[in-house]
C-alpha cells in the first residue's frame, strides 16, 4: 500500500490530529500575539507617562512595609524619606502607597494632578463611621462628593455663616476663662488646659450645630459624648489591618471594626435625637420663631429643596463629621500652641503688648480685633507649621494612571502626604525646629485661602482641603489671644513635649498650668 502512494496508518492519524489541532493552534497563536501587543501598548503607555515607579524600601510578603510603621508613623516615614527621597513607594500590606514629603512634590500631587488624586480609598472608617461613605471626609470622588462639598462650602461654611456664629465663640470663650479662674482657686492651683480646650471646642461646635448649650465638663450627658468622641478619634487613627490586607478583614483581628460599629451606634443615637427635636420644633413653630438658625436647621431646610436634595442619613453624616473633626483638630492645635507659649515667655509678652495696643486692659478681645493683631496670628501660623493637627494628611487615591515627577503612578495607588515633615523641612525653614512666630511677620502667608502655598499644609490642599479651615483659624486666634490677655501663665518643672499618634497627634500627657489674673476683673 505504501508503494501505491497511500500513507501509513500512523501517518493518517497524525494528519487527522494536525487538522483537529489546527484551530487550537491558531487560537493559541492569536492569543499570544494579542498579549504581546497588549504588553507593548502597556509598556509604551508607561514610557509615555514615566517609565519607573518611585523608589522605596524592600516590601515583605503579605505585610509589605507595615512593620516599619511603629509608634509615631509620621516620624518613621520622615526617616525613610531621607533615604529614598521626597516621593517614595511603599507597600502597606497589599496596598501600593505613595508617600510625599516635600512641598514641591505635594504641589505636584495636590494641585497639578489634583483631579486624579481627589478620591479617597474605600475603608472600614468610611463604612462604619462615615455612614457607608455618605459623609464628606471619607466619601470617594464622584458626583455625590461634589454635591456634598458644594453643600458644605456654599451653604454651611461660607464667610457669612461663620461670622453669624461669632457671638457663640466669644460667649463660650468668656465662660471658659471664668471657669478656668474658678477651678484654679483664683490662681492657687494648676488647671488642666487639655481638658478645657476639648470642652470649649465641643461646646462651641455643639451650639453651632444644634443651637443648644451643653457642658462637656461636669454634665453627665456632655461627659458621655466627650468619651464617644475620644473613642471615635482612637479608632479612626488606628491602623486597621483589614484595610491593608483585605483577606484578613473579615476576622477583625484587632477588634477595630467592632469598636467602630459600637461607637457609631452610640453617636448615631445622640445625633438622631437632636435632629428629631429640630424636626418636631419645625412642625410646631414652622418659620414663626425668630431664633438664629443653626447648622441642623439649615440642613433640614435644604432637605426639601429640589436643587440640592439631601437625606436624613446625609444630615447625620455631615453633623458627625463637623462635630468630631471640627473639635479634635482645634483642641489639639490649641494644646500645642499653649505649650510653646508656656515654654517661651517672650512670645507671651509680645502677644500681650500687641493685644493691649489694640483693646487696652479694660475689655476682652473680640474676633473683630484679631485682624489688627499680626503677631497673634503669627503664633497660630507657627503652631500650625510645627504641629499640624493631622501630621499625615488623610489618604487620597488615584483614579487613573499618571506621571508625577518623572515617575509612573498606577491607578488606585494610595497617596499619603507627610505634612509634619514639610513643616519642618530645613530647605524651606530657617531653624525649622525652633518656635519663632516672627518668621511670619511682614509676610502675607494665608494658610487658609492661598491655594498656591504648599510650604505648610495644616488644612490639606486641593479639592480635599478642609472646608472648615476658616472657622478653625478664627477660633484658635480668639482663644489664644483671650488666654494671654486675661492671665499670666506658669508651669511646674519642664514641659513634656512628647506626642502620641492618632488621627490627630496630641500631647502624650495633659497640659497643666497655673493662671494669674492680669486684668482688673475676670469675666
Please state, in angstroms and as integers, the Cα–Cα distance from residue 256 to each residue in 70, 247, 259, 302, 363, following that order: 18, 16, 5, 35, 49
- The H or E element spanning position 134 is none
Contact 98, 87 (CB under 8 A): yes
Write the CB contacts of 14 (distance below 8 Å, at least 6 apart in sequence).
none
DSSP 217: S
Contact 259, 253 (CB under 8 A): no
Closest CA to 205 of 108, 328, 46: 328
- Show the CA angle centred on residue 97, arms to residues 94 and 100, nearest 5°: 165
CA terminus-to-terminus distance, the chain: 122
User: Directed axis angle between helix 469-486 and helix 193-210, to 10°?
Assistant: 130
Burial of residue 265 (CB within 10 Å: 0-12, 13-18, 19+) is: exposed
Closest CA to 275 of 220, 323, 225, 315: 315
Q: Is 19 annotated as a binding residue?
A: no
Q: The cell 494648676 sits on which residue?
A: 190
Instruction: Give the whole-angstrom CA distance, residue 246 versus residue 264.
Output: 22
Cell numbers given for 461: 490642599
Alpha-helical regions (H) of 97-165 = 103-107, 124-128, 143-150, 159-164
Closest CA to 179 of 217, 208, 225: 217
Q: What DSSP letter does each residue of 304-366 carry, written as one string?
A: T-SSS---HHHHHHHHHHHHHHHHHHHHHHHHHHHHHHHH-HHHHHHHHHHHHHHHTTSS---
- Beta-strand runs (E) in 101-247: 191-192
Residue 273 CA neighbour count, 13 Å, CB half? 8
User: Directed axis angle between helix 220-236 and helix 193-210, to 10°?
Assistant: 100
- The H or E element spanning position 424 is none
Instruction: Give the whole-angstrom CA distance, residue 275 versus residue 253.
Output: 35
Binding-site annotation, residues for heme: 466
Binding residue numbers = 466
Amino acid at each position: 500500500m505504501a508503494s501505491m502512494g497511500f500513507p501509513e496508518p500512523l501517518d493518517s492519524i497524525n494528519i487527522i490530529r494536525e487538522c483537529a489541532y489546527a484551530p487550537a493552534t491558531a487560537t493559541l497563536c492569536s492569543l499570544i500575539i494579542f498579549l504581546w501587543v497588549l504588553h507593548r501598548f502597556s509598556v509604551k503607555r508607561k514610557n509615555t507617562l514615566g517609565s519607573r515607579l518611585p523608589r522605596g524600601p524592600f516590601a515583605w510578603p503579605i505585610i509589605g512595609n507595615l512593620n516599619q510603621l511603629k509608634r509615631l508613623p509620621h516620624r518613621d516615614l520622615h526617616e525613610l524619606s531621607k533615604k529614598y527621597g521626597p516621593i517614595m513607594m511603599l507597600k502597606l500590606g497589599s496596598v501600593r502607597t505613595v508617600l510625599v514629603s516635600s512641598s514641591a512634590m505635594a504641589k505636584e500631587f495636590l494641585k497639578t494632578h489634583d483631579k486624579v488624586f481627589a478620591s479617597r480609598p474605600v475603608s472600614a472608617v468610611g463604612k462604619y463611621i462615615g455612614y457607608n461613605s455618605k459623609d464628606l471626609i471619607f466619601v470617594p470622588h464622584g458626583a455625590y462628593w461634589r454635591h456634598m462639598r458644594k453643600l458644605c462650602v456654599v451653604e454651611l461654611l461660607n464667610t457669612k455663616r461663620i461670622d453669624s456664629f461669632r457671638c457663640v465663640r466669644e460667649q463660650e470663650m468668656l465662660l471658659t476663662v471664668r471657669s478656668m479662674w474658678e477651678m484654679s482657686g483664683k490662681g492657687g492651683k494648676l488647671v488642666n488646659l487639655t481638658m478645657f480646650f476639648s470642652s470649649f471646642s465641643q461646646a462651641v461646635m455643639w451650639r453651632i450645630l444644634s443651637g443648644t448649650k451643653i457642658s462637656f465638663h461636669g454634665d453627665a450627658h456632655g461627659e458621655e459624648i466627650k468619651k464617644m468622641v475620644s473613642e471615635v478619634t482612637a479608632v479612626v487613627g488606628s491602623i486597621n489591618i483589614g484595610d491593608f490586607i483585605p483577606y484578613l478583614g473579615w476576622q477583625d483581628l484587632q477588634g477595630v471594626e467592632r469598636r467602630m460599629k459600637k461607637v457609631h451606634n452610640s453617636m448615631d443615637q445622640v445625633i438622631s435625637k437632636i435632629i428629631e427635636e429640630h424636626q418636631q420644633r419645625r412642625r410646631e413653630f414652622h418659620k414663626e420663631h425668630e431664633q438664629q438658625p443653626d447648622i441642623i436647621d439649615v440642613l433640614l431646610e435644604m432637605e426639601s429643596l429640589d436643587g440640592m436634595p439631601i437625606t436624613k442619613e446625609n444630615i447625620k453624616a455631615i453633623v458627625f463629621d463637623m462635630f468630631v473633626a471640627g473639635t479634635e483638630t482645634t483642641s489639639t492645635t490649641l494644646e500645642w500652641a499653649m505649650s510653646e507659649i508656656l515654654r517661651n515667655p517672650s512670645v507671651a509678652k509680645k502677644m500681650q503688648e500687641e493685644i493691649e495696643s489694640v483693646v487696652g486692659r479694660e475689655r476682652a478681645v473680640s474676633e473683630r480685633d484679631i485682624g489688627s493683631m499680626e503677631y497673634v496670628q503669627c503664633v497660630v501660623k507657627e503652631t500650625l507649621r510645627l504641629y499640624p493637627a493631622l501630621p499625615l494628611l488623610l489618604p487620597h487615591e488615584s483614579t487613573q494612571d499618571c506621571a508625577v515627577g518623572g515617575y509612573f503612578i498606577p491607578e488606585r495607588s494610595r497617596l499619603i502626604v507627610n505634612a509634619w515633615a514639610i513643616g519642618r523641612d530645613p530647605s524651606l525653614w530657617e531653624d525649622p525646629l525652633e518656635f519663632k512666630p516672627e518668621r511670619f511677620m511682614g509676610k502675607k502667608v494665608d494658610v487658609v485661602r492661598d491655594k498656591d502655598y504648599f510650604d505648610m499644609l495644616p488644612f490639606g490642599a486641593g479639592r480635599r482641603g478642609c472646608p472648615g479651615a476658616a472657622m478653625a483659624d478664627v477660633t484658635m486666634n480668639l482663644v489664644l489671644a483671650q488666654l494671654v490677655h486675661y492671665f499670666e501663665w506658669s508651669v511646674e518643672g519642664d514641659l513634656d513635649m512628647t506626642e502620641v499618634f492618632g488621627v490627630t497627634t496630641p500631647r502624650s500627657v495633659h497640659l497643666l498650668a497655673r493662671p494669674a489674673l492680669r486684668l482688673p476683673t475676670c469675666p
